[in-house]
Chains A and B, each alone.
Chain A
């Protein structure tokens, strides 16, 4: 099997005839979730096939099944027309499937050739003595063929992120991968690097290989793929020709089901004074790159401002900047007109900014501590909860019992650890604590992620009540339905910027979906 020895031109007719990888009815369950629900998928030889879907739609799970990292609970997988059952990733590699992960699997101090050599169990790789020269030559040759020039003797840490990605691709090609899966490959690339990558992918397809391109960015999918399969909530909803589809049609396929049917319940909510004012906010992400660029938003008392966006576009950093967890690099925050000294969570708490973080279990609570401890996480210093340096355990316990009753938390008791609670009950504990601090502003991120329908209703109810009571709420969510249900206005965040702000009641979901995916507002 040496498909790269003589590049052959593929015409459309032969492409249509030969599926490289196909699956039918693939189902994969994890405790509590169905990641893939009867997924059908087929990619042909010589095509770039995009796998499009929002975060959590099941794209990564499916690719992990293709590479043998996971085993499907149900369904059939065929590679080049033969049914296969992969037990290990090795089986996937042997079948000619290569994967480029979003987070690279490279050994930094090693050279390019050494990394390619790692885990190679074919002829030269099997011998006890290493043959770096032969591998270097082959790597150089492959790089040249597909326009991915990398010095095979360079050490990985010397390379740019884009070059490191080429090494990952070369690794797969070196192992004779005829089907190459790339998981969100452009997430780490500059636009120029992305353009170069697309050319490489096209060249590989022209060579008869199959490229499966996983992404949630519409314009990239449109730019590089021949066909698109859209996943939503673990199901394959459609496979379409890229030629005949538009950004709009792809967006609505991706974003989803109830978008057309949904109507926001009309309720007269009193919009009061301006409580939260963000003025040109910028902040760095964890890797030192600017993640929030000049964000300006206004939230009034009794108003819910939704922030839409695909995960990783700066929403988490924005929430952390507003609540003092992340220092600002530029801009200012005013709460009720008073400038907030930023970068200190305690100051934000004192100013009445409550925060329900996206990571409930490790940021929102101390998971091993009891419900009692967690309900006073922010108020243990108050006179009610402590006397001098000592904590008043009885009062704290009584308070926890009271909150458990009031918020209907299903828990064995106030002494139960937060970790033992289900997602919905944990969120109730967090909400109970945040609301008991009588906040003026609430920043809440992904409030219902992972919750069941009943819990979602409860959380939404609490948010509506809080808004009715005059709290200014900044609601950050990737769930468009949720944003449209709750918000008065929706701001869309893309690559750290607010790319548009629309009225929640009158805007079309496609319009928002398009902005979320980096398209221009119409």
Chain B
């Protein structure tokens, strides 16, 4: 018996639902083993998990807060990955979104809330896009590997944040208040720059809704327009795209800008919805790694914008619940194991969508002894 893995020629549609669902079941089964081995009751843990993520008072609000940045970074990754452009720089582009949006909020202090909010959205998108255009230009004109350049620029962006708040008297830094004398912090934005929330029992941040709108627009752009068509052709065969007269370099720039802009929106939402200042603290925004988690979100969502919203919601729930479960008898490492297990099976399951596993009997080794007929050829 040999096990062979073969590429699927066609991918049945039902697999695209069945495999992720199956992966989740396998993950929960594996986690149950770990839980049992560490002396926890799996059923009770899963019940707690579900409650903490979705049904407990305030749980859904927390989940939405956790999901909001992941929608943007997930969309950012999906937008680029759709064209086989591997923008790993969502993290840094998100930082630049916070820089741009907070600058807009501070500069336009005194204007009405709608003006401020629109300005922050535009500035956040533009800053993220500008940062993403650096690896975009390098890729389009010098054929550098955008994975490396965009990844490295994340560190540059992080250090730039540090510089703005800790190492300089920049426009963003608060130099007047009493607490700022003790520890460097950013200026607080005017109240009118605080993004609104909706609902009472479940509080929906404005950023979450913005994310849903962005997902819808991205879906329309990619599946209904000429731009989306060109992206499809480029992703399938860059040679065919060039042969058809498409402007392939411009497309790379446009898609990188779009991707970075979406991540930048995530930064704007962080400032507008939650932080209301430029956060450069290494233990603050920079510790969450939303940009990197966004890549996982996009991969699990198979780059579908609506699926990104759904996956971001579930992952937000998992992170939120993980934080809630954590306690004296439930170490944070175990939460990490659960999250890791789910991601591992979900990404591993992808293999089964693209390939199938066949069990075959070994063919006899000696060729000369085996009479060859057209029939035996066909059977192979």
Contact = CB atoms under 8 A, between A and B. Distances in A.
A29 B377 CA distance: 9
Interface string B214-253: 0000000000111101001100110111111111000000
Interface string A343-386: 01111111000010101001111111100010001101100001
A363 B229 contact: no
B267 to A, nearest CB: 27
A377 B366 CA distance: 50
A83 B377 CA distance: 23
A74 interface: yes
Contact of A85 (B236, B244, B246, B367): B367
A363 B242 CA distance: 8
Contacts of B229: 373, 380, 391
Nearest to B368: A85
Nearest to B248: A345
A364 B367 CA distance: 40
B240 A365 contact: yes
Contacts of B239: 359, 362-363
B232 A366 contact: yes
B365 interface: yes
Given A345-B242, A362-B240, A389 B372 contact: no
Nearest to A350: B245
A325 B243 contact: yes
A390 interface: yes
A403 B207 CA distance: 47
Contacts of B225: 389-391
Contacts of B232: 366, 369, 373
Interface string A378-411: 1011000010011100000000000000000000
Contact of A345 (B226, B233, B237, B243): B243
A141 interface: no
A325 B238 CA distance: 12
Contact of B367 (A71, A325, A346): A71
A286 to B, nearest CB: 12
Contacts, number: 77
B224 A366 contact: no
A87 interface: yes
A73 interface: yes
Interface size class of A (residues with CB under 8 A): 35 or more
Interface in A293-344: 323-325, 344
A391 B223 CA distance: 9
Nearest to A385: B226
Contact of B233 (A323, A347, A366, A391): A366
Contacts of A323: 243
B377 A73 contact: yes
A363 B377 CA distance: 32
Contact of A368 (B224, B236, B242, B367): B236
Contacts of B237: 362-363, 365-367
Contact of A73 (B224, B241, B372): B372
A347 B244 CA distance: 11
Contact of A355 (B243, B367, B372): B243
Contacts of A381: 226
Contacts of B368: 76, 83, 85
B250 to A, nearest CB: 11
Given A73-B372, A366-B237, A369-B232, A357 B367 contact: no
A324 B246 CA distance: 12
Contacts of A380: 226, 229
A368 B237 CA distance: 9
A350 to B, nearest CB: 8
A76 B239 CA distance: 43
Contacts of A83: 368
A323 B372 CA distance: 48
A369 B233 contact: yes
Contacts of B246: 346
A306 B245 CA distance: 25
A356 to B, nearest CB: 10
Interface in A52-80: 71-74, 76
Contacts of B247: 346
A119 B56 CA distance: 64
A369 B230 CA distance: 11
A284 to B, nearest CB: 16
A389 B240 contact: no
Question: Considering residues B229, B232, B243, which has the most beta carbons from chain A within 10 angstroms of its beta carbon?
Answer: B243
Contacts of B242: 325, 345
A83 B236 CA distance: 48
Interface string B14-30: 00000000000000000
A359 B236 CA distance: 15
Contacts of A346: 245-247
Contact of A377 (B224, B227, B233, B367): B233
Contacts of B224: 390-391
Contacts of A324: 245
A345 B227 contact: no
Given A85-B366, A391-B225, A367 B372 contact: no
A389 B228 CA distance: 10
A88 to B, nearest CB: 10
B372 A357 contact: no
A457 to B, nearest CB: 26
Contacts of A373: 229, 232-233
Contacts of A367: 236-237
Contacts of B240: 362-366, 377
Interface in A76-135: 76, 83, 85, 87
A345 B247 CA distance: 9
A378 B372 CA distance: 48
Interface in B121-174: none
A350 B246 CA distance: 12
B378 to A, nearest CB: 11
A89 to B, nearest CB: 15
A366 B234 CA distance: 8
Contacts of A72: 367
Contact of B245 (A76, A345, A390): A345
Contacts of A85: 366-368
A448 B247 CA distance: 30
Question: Considering residues B224, B239, B247, which has the most beta carbons from chain A within 10 angstroms of its beta carbon?
Answer: B239
Contacts of A344: 245
Nearest to A71: B367
Interface string B326-359: 0000000000000000000000000000000000
A418 to B, nearest CB: 9
A296 B7 CA distance: 46
Nearest to B230: A380
Given A71-B367, A366-B236, A377-B240, 4 more contacts: A85-B367, A362-B237, A366-B237, A391-B229
21 contacts: A29-B377, A72-B367, A74-B372, A325-B242, A346-B245, A350-B245, A357-B243, A362-B240, A363-B239, A363-B240, A366-B240, A366-B241, A367-B236, A367-B237, A369-B232, A369-B233, A369-B236, A373-B232, A377-B233, A378-B244, A381-B226
The 7 closest A-B pairs by CB, nearest first: A346-B245, A366-B236, A377-B244, A345-B245, A366-B240, A363-B239, A389-B225
